[in-house]
Amino acid sequence: MAAQEAVDTVRDREIGIEQEHLDQVYRRLEEKIHEAEFLMNDAAQKGHVGTPGALAERDAQVFRAGVHLNRLNNEFEDFLFGRIDLLEGKDGVRGPDGAYTSVEPADDAVRADNTADIGETLHIGRIGVLDADYSPLVIDWRAPAAAPFYRSTPVEPGRVVRRRVIRSKGRRVLGVEDDLMRPELKAALDGAELPVIGDGALMAALGQARGHSMRDIVSSIQAEQDLVIRAPAASVTYVEGGPGTGKTAVALHRAAYLLYQDRRRYAGGILIVSPTPLLVSYTEGVLPSLGEEGQVAIRALGDLAEDAAGGVADTYDEPAVSRIKGSSRMLAVLRKAARGALDQPDTPRLLRVVAFGRRLELEENELRRIRQNVLSGTAPVNLLRPRARRLLLDALYARSGAAGRHSDPELAAELRSSFDEDVSTEDSFLGFLDAWWPELAPRRVLDAMGDEKRLGRWARRILNPGEVRRVARSLRRPGLSVHDVALLDELHTLLGAPARPKRKREYDPLDQLTGLEELMPVREETQRERAERLAAERTEYAHVIVDEAQDLTPMQWRMVGRRGRHATWTIVGDPAQSSWSDPDEAAASRDEALGSRPRRRFELTVNYRNPAEIAELAAKVLALAMPGKESPRAVRSTGVEPRFVAVAGGDLAGTVRAEAERLLAGVEGTVGVVVAMDRRAEAARWLDGLGDRVVALGSLEAKGLEYDATLVVSPAEIADESPAGLRVLYVALTRSTQALTVLAGERDLPDAAGVPDLLRD
Ligand SMILES: Nc1ncnc2c1ncn2[C@@H]1O[C@H](COP(=O)(O)OP(=O)(O)OP(=O)(O)O)[C@@H](O)[C@H]1O
């Protein structure tokens, strides 16, 4: 008891020490806020008067102050979250943030009797704060000096002796957790022995109940993850790792890191491509919690093309259809369709005009010849219209008999231009051109492909008749599917957008400061509008991050590739979770999108999501889905084995509901019920009235998400859905942080214990 009290006293004292530091940080921030308010008022009063240099300097100050203001107003849970106590550095040099730059300890930092003094203490937070004398009160987590907080391990401690995670809420420190990186050392801080409190900050983070949005992991990023987050943004950073290894988390933190490193370069925008709108809404809170929003667009694959009018495409084609629509064979079909769609059922077959007092006509054959001639070029169809117009005029002029009238070239040219002028302003000619060579919108071509006969013509020798029928039928349904969006985007390129006049903008010196728009409350409305407009106009990005990259189809890789032609890339994925039927084809398209850029490859090996008991079950499916592929190592175990149940009395709905209720009672947070795609709608009805902690999901929608508990309904149904079914089942089984129930239907051939045959040893 007495020992426990002593521990508690030390803990309270250490919390008190961190509290003092946090108080000091807040005092300094308040000072800065006063400065910020003064500067903002001053700026508002003076308007934009002054030399450009002075303006830029003032704006930079307002910007920095605005960052602090914004941060404080948001009352982040843990503004300050870490601390490292370090040995003296080797070179004794300090970096721009006031911390020693060396990661290696000085030669004499550890004495022969294994004692040492702490040479430097750094606090790590969401942004950096300097004291009035420029000493660092808090180091930004992305700064080089903060890297040892994440990188240091007992095997390679560098200068770190003690690594501390500080839990705080607003202005109050709630707790501290320490890890000793050099346990063999007797280290002293200000002459007293260095105390060590508790262990397992990471475990505490992992055990917390889940909500419907992802949390940042800034206080517990692990060394192998940190290497990826801080990898230099050259060419392509390629990250592979199994379920729950933090790929999504790492991708988001990397976006924040890149912005910190080089804000001006990434003013060109960072695009994060996510497979589903569900994953977008699950992850979109992470960047704001890291203080970054303005420059990063997180978009679902179904929301990437501009023509996707009517919002996000989130309907899915049946697997047999998406397999065709996603494949690179569609490219050849679309090329034909983009040209063939010029021929509509109501396309005029005769051109008749009056010129020089004569009636002139071009008949069907002549018109066809002209069209073929124009289309022999490779330019986008809409951009060929001027050439079509010219060839029509040429043919009409030839018919008029005026061509040989003058031998003098100047007179002949004059005659020709007055002919062109006459004809091309005539209503009948203009009306004909609009109908015969209409400006094609991508959507119009896609709709035309819904006509089975026409699609059959365009897809001859590319798709078989059964495939043509399926695709045409799917295109006649209202709305857009996720896979249609990549087709639309390809059509956009094939058709070409006619140049539109650019809108003029007023010059605003504040625009030079990227990110400022997010921070200036007085300008909020207009700046937000501006940000939205810029985002809408943006078609290329400076950095592209692809999450769940294993799922992109060849057509989707082409679509994403177009948005990052000059970009650097970060690609995260897991081939074992791919729902695309032909991973080799997709990999070839990915390589095409990335060109010859060199790649740096990283691997993440630790599963932070699933307890070992769940990971072990999922590994059985992995062995079937991808023999020989190794499972990531689960970092914790809960002692709770997965539960197996068979459908009771043929009542699937009733059993699902009862099992969902049981899970809801068992965990504090969220419950996901994963069913085969074609059961999505009924599953939502089964769960009616159980509250918003539980959601029904189609197997493909479960990508990237996680729940405290999951109920996987009929593994066999999910596995049989598509050629990639086993990999999709692997995804479904790896969504849970605590509890997993597997419900077996008849098709699962459960044994007496309710275990489906797919999951038996
Ligand atoms: N270093 C960490 N500290 C705390 N939590 C972590 C850490 N790394 C990952 N996690 C947590 O583990 C879970 C899985 O992370 P994430 O979703 O990024 O994995 P993933 O590799 O994208 O998984 P999947 O491939 O299954 O979609 C998340 O809850 C994440 O917050």
Q: Where are the alpha helices (DSSP H) in 81-200?
A: 147-151
Side-by-side strand order, sheet with 599-604: 296-300, 270-274, 543-546, 568-573, 236-241, 599-604
Average pLDDT over residues 549-556: 93
pLDDT digits (tens, 9 = 90+) for 47-61: 554 555 555 555 555
Locate the ligand 1 atom nearest the alpha carbon of residue 731 and give its number: 26
pLDDT for the residue numbered 285: 83
Q: Is the CB of 608 under 6 A from ligand 1?
A: yes
Q: Is 745 annotated as a binding residue?
A: no
Q: Is 289 helix (H, G, I), strand (E, B) or coil?
A: helix
CA of 70 to the centre of ligand 1 (A): 28
Q: How far is the CA of 222 from the centre of ligand 1 (A)?
A: 11
In degrees rounded to 5, what are phi and psi of residue 685? -70, -40
pLDDT recorded at residue 503:
44
The ligand 1 atom nearest the CA atom of 225: 1
Average pLDDT on 62-81 reads: 63
Whether 744 and 756 have beta carbons less than 8 Å apart is answered as yes
Residue 70: CA atoms inside 13 Å, Cβ hemisphere, count?
23
Q: In the prediction, which pLDDT does 29 show?
A: 80
- Per-residue pLDDT tens for 669-724? 999 999 999 999 999 999 999 999 999 999 999 999 999 999 999 999 999 998 89
Element (H, E) at 119: none
Which pLDDT belongs to residue 501? 41
**pLDDT in the model for residue 3:** 59
For the cut 70, the answer to whether the pLDDT of residue 533 exceeds it is: no
pLDDT at 69: 58
Annotated binding-site residue? 655: no
DSSP per-residue letters across 388-434: HHHHHHHHHHHHHT-TTS-SSHHHHHHHHHHHHHHHHTSHHHHHHHH
pLDDT by residue (tens digit) across 174-218?
A: 888 888 888 778 889 988 888 887 755 676 667 776 777 888 888
Letter string b/e over residues 44-72, b meaning 16 or more CB atoms within 10 A of that residue's CB = eeeeeeeeeeebeebbebbbbbbbbbbbb
Where are any strands of DSSP class E within 218-328? 236-241, 270-274, 296-300
pLDDT digits (tens, 9 = 90+) for 101-111: 777 888 888 99
Q: What is the 3-state secondary structure (H, E, C) of 684-711?
A: HHHCCCCCCCEEEEEHHHHCCCCEEEEE
pLDDT, one tens digit per residue, over 593-607 is 888 888 899 999 999
pLDDT in tens, 417-465: 989 998 988 899 999 999 999 999 999 999 999 999 999 999 999 999 9
Split at pLDDT 50, 70, 90, the class of 522 is very low
Confirm or reject: Cβ of 253 under 6 Å from ligand 1: no
Residues 632-641: b if buried by 16+ CB within 10 A, e if exposed:
bebbbeeeee
205 lines ligand 1 (CB under 6 A): yes
Q: In 143-170, which positions are buried (b, 16+ CB within 10 angstroms) versus exposed (e)?
A: bbbbbbbbbbeeeebbbbbbbbbbbbee
DSSP state of 541: -
Asked whether the beta carbons of 605 and 224 are under 8 A apart, the reply is yes
Give the position, in ligand 1's atom list, of the atom nearest the Cα of 703.
27
Output the pLDDT for position 324. 95
pLDDT > 90? residue 406: no
Yes or no: say if 85 and 187 are a contact pair by the CB < 8 Å rule. yes
**DSSP 3-state assignment of 53?**
helix
pLDDT band at 293 (very low <50, low <70, confident <90, very high): low
Q: Residue 523 has what pLDDT?
A: 37
Question: Considering the chain, what percentage of its residues have pLDDT values greater than 70?
Answer: 85
Q: How far is the CA of 627 from the centre of ligand 1 (A)?
A: 24
The answer to whether 244 is a known ligand-binding residue is yes
* Helix 465-476, helix 319-326: angle, nearest 10: 100
Q: Which residues of 690-715 are buried (b: 16+ CB within 10 A; e: fewer)?
A: beebbbbbbbbbbbbbbbbbbbbbbb
Tell me what the mean pLDDT of segment 257-270 comes to: 85
Q: Which residue has the tokens 């790792």?
A: 241
Among the atoms of ligand 1, which is closest to the Cα of residue 735?
A: 26
pLDDT at 657 over 90: yes
pLDDT mean over 352-374? 91
123, β-bridge pairs: 83
Nearest CA to ligand 1 atom 14: 244
Q: Looking at residue 61, what is its pLDDT?
A: 59
Q: Which residues are CB-contacts of 522 (< 8 A; sequence separation ≥ 6)?
A: 40, 44
ipTM score here?
Answer: 0.99
The more confident residue out of 594 and 324 is: 324
CA of 245 to the centre of ligand 1 (A): 5
pTM: 0.81
Atom 16 of ligand 1, nearest CA residue:
246
At 222-241, the pLDDT tens digits run: 888 999 999 988 789 999 99
Higher pLDDT residue, 73 or 384? 384
Q: How far is the CA of 246 from the centre of ligand 1 (A)?
A: 3
**H or E segment at 644?**
strand 643-646
Residue 609, ligand 1, Cβ within 6 A: yes
Residue 395 pLDDT > 90, yes or no? yes
Residue 202 Cβ < 6 Å to ligand 1: yes
In angstroms, what is the span from residue 674 Cα to ligand 1's centroid?
Answer: 19
Nearest CA to ligand 1 atom 3: 220
Query: Residue 171 contacts by C-beta under 8 Å, 6 or more apart in sequence?
Result: 22, 23, 26
**377 marked as part of a ligand binding site:** no
pLDDT tens per residue, range 341-352: 998 888 999 999
Tokens of 258: 């890149």
CB atoms within 10 A of CB 39: 18
pLDDT the model gives residue 370: 95
